[in-house]
Amino acid sequence: MELLARLSAPRRETKVIGLVCTGHFFSHFYLLLVPPLFPLLKEVYGVGFTELGFATACFSIASGFTQIPVGFMVDRYGARHILIWGLFIESIAIALIGVFPLYGALVALMIAAGLSNSVFHPADYSILNATVDKSRIGRVFSFHTFTGYLGDALAPATVLFLAALLDWRAAMFLCGACGAVVAAFMWMNSELLADASGAKSMQRGAARPDGKPGRVGLALILSIPVLMGMLFFATMSIAGAGVRTFGISALHELYQTSLGAAGVAVSAYLFVSPVGVLAGGYAADKITRHDLVAALCILVIAACVFAVAAFDPPLAVIAVLFAIAGFANGFLAPPRDMIIRSLAPASEMGKVFGFVSSGFAVAGIIAPILYGWLLDHSDARNVFWVSGFVGLATIVTVLATGRAGRRAS
């Protein structure tokens, strides 16, 4: 408490943002460490790509479907220790993959890593919401999302470089050790990581921004607005997977082009998205109708994807269209988070963000089956048609969620 008293609010905010966002970087970084090593691990474990895919699916399922109970734990017991232990355990699990080169160990450790990965969204948003001034919260949410995107982008290159320089086992161990060091640093500065848990979460009715009692616990997360928020996360993620995950395969089938050329077009989407996130954060602090901004972004994305499906443009034009769609996809992320933030009092923030983030897990199950079936049994352009139409359907959920958030505020 003495340290907090000596720190000015902006300086303390900066330290908290740095700690939380560094942890968020590693949460995404660890998610994409193993897949680039599949060609090596296939020989090491004596299994096929299906078995390796199952191991990574275990990570996603364990992470996605435990975010809800973790959200309740964050609001009941506090975020700081849950966040620190989550990062530490995930880091150790990743490091141990390099220590035990057995397929059974890989599956068990990926489950452990996934379970510990589930802490980040509930804990991060609870801490940031309790720490950051309202006038800057949109920009901070955008930077938080940006660091996750950065982890996604750097993981493949980092692990492949270290594997080539040393070997894959040393690469996994070193990457895991880095996260453990960060967790230790967070522990040494844990007094900075305040949230709105504790006594407030014990109250029968948490106060909404208007001062009136609001829903809490299960009544809150099972309310129509929060359910619509979870559906918003799920449908937007399903729509995005059409480009982000299956875009290369679809373009390869449509144009009979190399995977590398198709990858360049999809990379335009992936690398411009973080730029959109940062721009969207500044906009989110200046606007009030976050739902309309998000809906407009979705319309832009759908228009770009429909253009690819309908007109068979050259790959260079597709890259431009995907870049525009990627910017819009990034731009809508901070308004999206602001909409969800408006649905709950501070003491319920962990469980609400944990619940809506489980929509990503739902999408992770549905999208591969949906788009894989389309590629196997129909014209590849249907991947883009379905992606666009699912995106348009998302507009209904974002407008409904935004309306509920305005009424709550």
pLDDT tens, residue order, the chain (409 aa): 444 444 455 778 888 999 999 999 999 899 878 888 887 888 899 988 778 878 888 888 888 888 888 888 888 888 889 999 999 999 999 999 999 999 999 999 999 999 999 999 888 988 888 888 888 888 888 899 899 888 887 887 888 889 989 999 999 999 999 999 999 999 999 888 877 554 344 444 444 444 434 566 778 888 888 888 899 999 998 998 888 877 878 888 888 877 678 878 888 888 898 899 989 988 888 888 888 999 999 999 999 999 999 998 999 999 999 999 999 999 998 898 888 888 877 778 778 888 898 888 888 778 888 888 888 888 889 999 999 999 999 999 888 888 876 776 6
- Give ranges for CATH 1.20.1250.20 in the chain: 2-189, 217-408
Residue 149's alpha-carbon distances to 140, 326, 330, in angstroms, are 14, 12, 10
Q: What are the residues facing 207 on neighbouring strands?
A: 213
**What is the rounded distance in angstroms from the CA atom of residue 338 to the CA atom of residue 290?**
7
- Determine the CATH number of domain 217-408: 1.20.1250.20
**What is the rounded distance in angstroms from the CA atom of residue 241 to the CA atom of residue 234?**
11
CATH class of 2-189: mainly alpha
Model pTM score: 0.76
Contact 370, 298 (CB under 8 A): no
C-alpha torsion 175→360→101→157, nearest 10: -40
**What is the rounded distance in angstroms from the CA atom of residue 230 to the CA atom of residue 352?**
9
